[in-house]
Structure 1
Amino acid sequence: MAELATIARPYAEALFKATGVAGAEQVQQWLDAFAEVAASEDVQRVAQSPKVSREQLLSLFESVVQGDLPQLAKNFLATVIDNDRLPALPMIAAQYRGLVNAQQGAADAVVYSAFPLSDAELDGLRPVLEKRFGRKLNLTVQPDASLIGGIRVVVGDEEFDTSIKARLEQMKAALTA
């Protein structure tokens, strides 16, 4: 894993320098789409085949992204393919997101919830979480029925757990101590 991170860093940094923060959202969208395709074992196997041309690989990746790709995206993808770095694409996407977040003073946060959260509920939760973690957060929600109720928020290596499951574990520890 460390090797992929080392390989991915120069690509992510070069892409970040070429795009800056202004176009970061669009770049992150197509980069995430590329990363998802590249993570597939079938795509990796096809990419290693000598019968598959560079243009066929480019066409495969371009077909996944909705809409027209900017020339920067096509050039970036061609460079990654030419240098046999497709396995590093997921790490490139993650490192690019990290560079954008660092520039904006933000962080990615995963909100685990026992029940689906509406956009209004998430918008109400955002200021509380941003105050709690001390920075702007890019929230994504993932269901986790094991929580029973409440939420668990993970930002990097920090965690904020207000779930019923966590409270029951605390009560269990207190009663057995």
Structure 2
Amino acid sequence: MAEITTIARPYAEALFRRAQETGKAAQWSEHLAWLTSLVENEQFAGVISDPRLTREQLVQFILGLSGTPLDSEAQNLLIILAENHRLGALPAIARQYEGLRHEHEGILDAQITSAYPLNEGQVQQLMSRLEKRLGKEVRVHVVVDSALLGGISITIGDRVIDGSVRARLEQMAVALKH
């Protein structure tokens, strides 16, 4: 995992710098999202790893897909990644790019993990409390994990606010051992 992050970082940073120079941050987000959706598609993953295809053929295949939304710079990125056998790094590149973009725009990404599904009102309430507490815009992604037993856990970057029942039980177990 650390290796793919290390591989992705220079690409993401270069893309972010280029997006800043050209004023096309949102467009790069779209390009990266589209390319990532291809790479993460199970059927397409077989095409990427097919040793019978040359890198040129792979690029031409991708560019030949109907509705390919890539401009010339994004096509160049695709060619570079294919030549360097780095197409599999696209999801990590996209995540890091979005992280840089959101940091630049003063936006924090938060993952809310809940034991049970949250309704829109609950999500909005949590989001507004986080924004008030952190003084920045917060975008949330909600994940349901029944292993929490109850409550929620919020992850923002390297910060974790864990109010889950599972975490409280673990704290009690540690306290009882000492």
Check whether TM > 0.5. yes
Residues 7-156 of structure 1: matches in 2 within 5 Å?
7-20=7-20, 23-38=24-39, 42-46=46-50, 49-52=51-54, 54-60=56-62, 63=65, 67-71=67-71, 72-156=73-157
CA distance in 2 between partners of 1:168 and 1:107 (Å): 29
CA distance in 2 between partners of 1:132 and 1:61 (Å): 45
Amino acid at match of 1:105: G
CA distance in 2 between partners of 1:121 and 1:89 (Å): 33
Amino acid at match of 2:61: S
CA distance in 2 between partners of 1:130 and 1:108 (Å): 11
CA distance in 1 between partners of 2:93 and 2:10 (Å): 9
CA distance in 2 between partners of 1:170 and 1:7 (Å): 37
Unaligned 5+ segments in structure 1 are: none
Structure 1 residues 111 and 29: CA distance shift in structure 2, 3 A: farther
Please say if residues 62 and 69 of structure 1, whose CA atoms lie closer than 8 Å, have aligned partners that are also in contact: no
Question: Does the residue aligned with 1:110 lie in a helix, a strand or coil?
Answer: strand
Q: How far has the Cα of 1:22 moved from its partner?
A: 5.6
CA distance in 1 between partners of 2:47 and 2:132 (Å): 42
CA distance in 1 between partners of 2:63 and 2:121 (Å): 35
Count of residues paired in the alignment: 173
Question: Does the residue aligned with 2:111 lie in a helix, a strand or coil?
Answer: strand
CA distance in 2 between partners of 1:85 and 1:124 (Å): 40
CA distance in 1 between partners of 2:79 and 2:29 (Å): 17
Amino acid at match of 1:13: E
Structure 1 residues 19 and 174: CA distance shift in structure 2, 3 A: same
CA distance in 1 between partners of 2:3 and 2:108 (Å): 24
CA distance in 2 between partners of 1:165 and 1:6 (Å): 33
Please say if residues 114 and 144 of structure 2, whose CA atoms lie closer than 8 Å, have aligned partners that are also in contact: yes
Please say if residues 34 and 61 of structure 1, whose CA atoms lie closer than 8 Å, have aligned partners that are also in contact: no
CA RMSD in angstroms, aligned pairs only: 3.1
Q: How far has the Cα of 1:127 moved from its partner?
A: 1.8
Q: How far has the Cα of 1:117 moved from its partner?
A: 1.9
Amino acid at match of 2:171: Q
CA distance in 2 between partners of 1:16 and 1:50 (Å): 33
TM-score for the superposition, normalised by structure 1: 0.75
CA distance in 1 between partners of 2:2 and 2:174 (Å): 37
Unaligned 5+ segments in structure 2 are: none
TM-score for the superposition, normalised by structure 2: 0.75
